[in-house]
Structure 1
Amino acid sequence: MFTRSLILAAGACLAAAPAFAAPAAPARPNIIVILADDLGYGDTGAYGSPWVKTPNIDALARDGVRFTQGYVAHPVCAPSRAALMTGRYQTRFGYEFNPVGRDRTGGVSRDEVLLPQVLKGAGYSTGMVGKWHLGQPAGYHPLDRGFDSFFGVMTGATSFMTDFRVGDEEITPPGAGASFGLAEGVQAPPGATEAEKMALLRRAAPVLRGREVVEEETYLTDAFTREAVSFIDANAGKPFFLYLAYTTPHTPLQAPASYIERNRDIPDKGQRVYAAMVTALDDGVGKLRAELKARKLEKDTLIVFLSDNGCAGYIGTACTNGPLNGFKGLHLEGGVRVPYIVSWPGRFRKGAVEPQVVSSLDIAPTAAALAGADLPKGTDGQNLAPYLYAKAPAPFARRLFWRSGPNYAVRDGAWKLWSVNRAEPGETESLAAGITPDGVQAKVSAQGVYDMLYNLADDPGETRNLAASRPEVVARLKAEIAEWDRGNVPAQWTSMRQAVRRHEGQMLKIYP
């Protein structure tokens, strides 16, 4: 089924991978991928948060390698996860936009081989806990895609709580919309109480154990941690792969009194509730590592921690991607550059802070190489293990690409180009500017595209657009995009949450 072992990147879209002298291959590690949901680049202590305390995530960084230029392949949830699970740009197989309910009728193509299938074929026990968002029908469920066990939710959002008690808090910042309305197709009747809204959201996006709906009353982040620890406990005697995809701190922003109290010193309610949600996430990381240590598996386990995209601008000042510009849904750095930590105590470097450009695309080939497994042809990521082993690795060149309809971006060395469709005359700023019908691909408007060129070495905040002064760089990067795009296919469906945003004085059409 698998035709070759992937140690170096495949395809013309990547620069040649570096050649490292890695040590003799150790025993195959257990592999844990912890994915936060909409966690901001600047929302952990390790990445400079001024108010969110994350001692366990910070300790993970001290015990491993913290990348300061770690990227995801898309700035919204489902396409980003599709790339992580395959090691391939999601545009290779048309999973280009959030499905927004369509994952109930389809999902990631079954022609694609997912990481759990690769590792299961290599003898690993495979378990998933948390948010799937890659397809719900028969054939697309996690249990159909290589996982031995599943506990979690299938869609993009659900309620974290089923009942509010004294001291619990919820916040819907301006612009966010009602929390229940952020899940696919969920609408509450006028005058519905918060309890009724939460119940409606949980019914629309229920918690499953395997394929069966369960009534989960525990705060959802804690329930996911409980199930992840249980999976480690049950599989401690053999190699395992755990994909722990938390739903926190995605909306709705909800936290119980126990976590609110630990963040009571934060006066702004939005920041306080968001921080409380991250506290629960951080506690989960600590409990997982404590379980590994108790079972003497700490030095036998690789942990990767990252977010699926940057934090959402629609929750206002509750989160931050600082010092980066932009938010979830945008191909600015704040949308696609995320916290990215890799730790394997006793094997990989300890306490390193690395500026090397890496991607979520690299997780699948790195895990497969360490597991002694083969990946299919056409993988876009590269095996980072040799770089992580090396005590003083030399930096290597990297190109990364993004596509959302007619909008494209590329990072090549220090250069970053983002080309965005201009809005039509008369369109005003909106988070929901229209829907292109399925089967009709969004096209470049008659107004053309607006090019933004940044030198990230000098301007990581993307504040100085150099497109006008460096047209030769723009032309070169557009040629690279065109070459890369020849390996992509049309989107399975169109964006359902198109937006018009004003940026650099231009009205631009975004297709998240």
Structure 2
Amino acid sequence: MKIHTKLLSALSSLALLVGSAGIHASEQKPNIILIVADDLGYADVGFNGSKDIITPNIDDLAKSGTSFSDAYVAHPFCGPSRAALMTGRYPHKIGSQFNLPTRGSNVGVPTDAKFISKLLNENNYFTGALGKWHLGDAPKYHPNQRGFDEYYGFLGGGHNYFPSQYQPIYEKQKAQGLKNIFEYLTPLEHNGKKVRETEYITDALSREAVNFVDKAAEKTNPFFLYLAYNAPHVPLQAKDEDMAMFPNIKNKDRKTYAGMVFALDRGIGKLVSALKKNNQLDNTLIVFMSDNGGKLSKGANNFPLTAGKGSTQEGGFRVPMLFHWPKHVPAGKRFSHPVSALDLYPTFAALAGAKIEESQQLDGTNMWPAFIKNENPHKDEPIYALRHRKGYSDAAIRLNQWKALKVNQQPWQLFNIENDISEKNDVSKSNKALLTDMVREMEKWSWDNQQPSWFHETTEGVNWRLDAMPRFDKTFKTTK
């Protein structure tokens, strides 16, 4: 009997080996592509109802994948939102709740906060980051030091789009011996070495995304690509032929913005074509989203959401998002439960089979099981937004169908956000106990928030100290 058992065991092991012989490691774990647009409006993609801007390639992904109606980022500004994506932590927990200093600095997202890229890289993923970084300029915060094998882009918070325009200005200032040149004008880089770009920046990043996929196809391990477009973030600069696609848009800013979004969509189409060419599309999870709400004064449209970038109203941190992964992500579906960008870290880790150490704190949840079952991954669990202003803070809490909101130093309000997406009907008077309980929960959450490690502008830091911020005694006050 023992001999018979050993024989069966040996034959079973042999069968497994034969069955897996022709399968690459990359087919055992999915490739993961995270595409982040910059300041893209909720209503500025076709799958969210855009009536004037066309996004055929993005919409194709949505049609053959699943789009999200209630996707939230962790902060309504670029830098803190990206810090949350990479670390899986609310930026307030790691001192990253402000954009990095505009004039450059030696600060950045703490190195003891492990980036998702580092975790995946440690688990045999070939990793690449393209485009906007905005997580630290100093060498120790460089993408190549945070788990990315490849990096092509710019380290700051934005960039001009036409090399023929920004390069002469940069060269002139460099010839004058200036060292502190506006980051929107500086050369792009590849793995720490300056490069002389020749293409419109959005097209250049799309080109590099295709190059990365081609390079990854030569390897046997899976890949993770973080494609961080700076479009349609200001400055509003688009190619004439892209703006010509929108003859019915008369507003100059809106027309330029539309051209920028169209270029981004074109690039995503090229990326998908490269995946198909390399037979990788079926084994690739594509996530597309914006880093925060659209900036209404710069051409964006967040309808039917209220307000925009920087706000804790829905238009500030509720964003367009989709998943695409053939045979794994349901096709043509709309996921209507609330999800957080903080969920992507533990979800990617789970899909990659990467172990998260018990000592590593994360603020999101692996949403994949609930997503597949079309269930709420945050049932009875709050999602927060907190934006500091001069002398006070705006705050928001999403809990199931409810949204608690405090803005502009006004009393807390409460909305049934499932029935009132535009936040028009305050029902706080008839739900006082519920509102108070939600605010008390956020107050408890705030106690281990860290003091900011930096400020976007010097005056912000001065005012923070003069105003004895964060003044949560005012933020979480629920009585008159």
Instruction: Note if 1:216 corresponds to 2:217.
Output: no
Code of the residue aligned with 1:407 in structure 2: it is D
Amino acid across the alignment from 1:100: P
Deviation at 1:403, TM superposition (A): 2.0
Of 96-105 and 114-123, deviating more is 96-105
Change (3 A) 1:396 1:409: closer
Counterpart residue number, 2:126: 125
Identity %: 40
SS at match of 1:41: coil
* Structure number, greater radius of gyration: 2
Q: Give the TM-score normalised by the residue count of structure 1.
A: 0.77
Quote how far apart the aligned CAs of 1:249 are: 0.2
1:325 matched to 2:306: yes
Asked if 1:290 is matched to 2:273, the reply is: yes
Superposed, 1:36-115 pairs within 5 Å as 36-101=37-102, 104-115=105-116
Q: Give the deviation of 1:361 after TM superposition.
A: 0.6
1:103–1:134 CA contact under 8 A, matched in 2:
no
Partner of 2:156: 155
**Structure 2 counterparts to residues 338-487 of structure 1, below 5 A:** 338-376=319-357, 377-390=360-373, 393=375, 397=379, 398-405=381-388, 406-420=393-407, 422=409, 450-487=411-448
Distance in 1 (CA, whole Å) between partners of 2:395 and 2:351 is 33
Distance 1:136 1:267 in 2: 39
Deviates more, 1:479-488 or 1:126-135: 479-488
Amino acid at match of 1:475: T
- Deviation of 1:394 (Å): 6.5
Which residue of the other structure, out of 252, 255, 264, is the alignment partner of 1:269? Answer: 252
The structure whose residues are more often strand, as a share, is 1
Give the number of equivalent residue pairs.
416
Distance change (3 Å), C-alpha of 1:42 and 1:476: same
Is 367-376 or 222-231 further displaced after alignment?
367-376
Cα 1:203/1:420, change in 2 over 3 Å? closer
Letter in 2 for 1:119: L
Q: Deviations over 1:108-166 (max 9, x none)?
A: 001100000000000001100010000010210111111011101111111001336xx
How far, CA to CA, are the matches of 2:429 and 2:186 in structure 1? Answer: 47
Q: How big is the shift at 1:495?
A: 5.5
**Structure 1 letter corresponding to 2:50:** S
Amino acid in structure 1 at the alignment position of 2:154 = V
Deviation at 1:388, TM superposition (A): 3.6
Following superposition, the deviation at residue 494 of structure 1 comes to: 4.1
Give the distance between the partners of 2:304 and 2:211, measured in 1 at CA: 37
Structure 1 Cα separation of the partners of residues 183 and 76 of structure 2: 25
Unaligned runs of 5+ in 2: 1-26, 174-180, 461-473, 476-480
Distance of 2:59 and 2:237 partners within structure 1: 23
* 1:135 is aligned to 2:136: yes
In structure 2, relative to structure 1, the CA distance for the partners of 1:93 and 1:204 (3 Å cut) is same
Aligned-residue Cα RMSD (Å) equals 2.4
Higher helix share: 2
Query: Which ranges in structure 1 are unaligned for 5 or more consecutive residues?
Result: 1-25, 165-178, 180-185, 190-199, 423-448, 499-508
Distance 1:122 1:209, change over 3 A: same
1:231 equivalent to 2:244? Answer: no
Distance 1:64 1:139 in 2: 38
Post-superposition shift, 1:278?
A: 0.4
Other-structure match for 2:466: none
* Structure showing greater relative contact order (alpha-carbon pairs closer than 8 Å, 6 or more residues apart): 1
Q: Once the 2 structures are TM-superposed, how far is the Cα of residue 493 of structure 1 from its aligned partner?
A: 2.8
Q: 1:345 to 1:73 in 2, by over 3 A?
A: same
Deviates more, 1:359-368 or 1:239-248: 359-368
Please give the TM-score of this superposition, normalised by the length of structure 2: 0.82
